[in-house]
Amino acid sequence: MSNPASTTARRNEAPTELVGQWRELLDRHAAVSCALEKALQHDHQIGLSEFETLDRLVDADCQKYRMTELAGDIYLSQSALSRAVARLERDGLVERTMCVEDRRAIFVQLTDKGRAVYDQALPTHRSVLAGSWDRPTACP
Task: Please check the confidence at residue 3 and state whether its pLDDT lies above 90.
Answer: no
Give the max Cα distance, the chain.
65
Question: What φ, ψ does residue 108 adopt, rounded to 5°?
Answer: -120, 135
Dump pLDDT digits (tens) for 82-139.
Answer: 999 999 999 999 999 887 777 778 899 999 999 999 999 999 999 999 988 777 666 6
3-state secondary structure of 110: strand
For residues 88 and 93, what is the distance between their CA atoms, to the nearest angstrom?
5
- Tell me the domain boundaries of the chain: 19-133
Q: Grade residue 10 by pLDDT with cuts at 50, 70 and 90.
A: low
For residues 114 and 32, what is the distance between their CA atoms, to the nearest angstrom?
24
Could you say which DSSP state residue 136 is in? Answer: -
The phi-psi region of residue 92 (left if phi > 0; otherwise alpha if psi is between -120 and 50; otherwise beta) is: left
Selection from 8, 115, 102, 22 nearest residue 30 by Cα: 22
Do the strands 65-66 and 106-110 form a parallel or antiparallel pair, or are they unpaired? antiparallel
CATH code at 19-133: 1.10.10.10
Mean pLDDT for the stretch of residues 55-81: 88
For residues 37 and 102, what is the distance between their CA atoms, to the nearest angstrom?
36
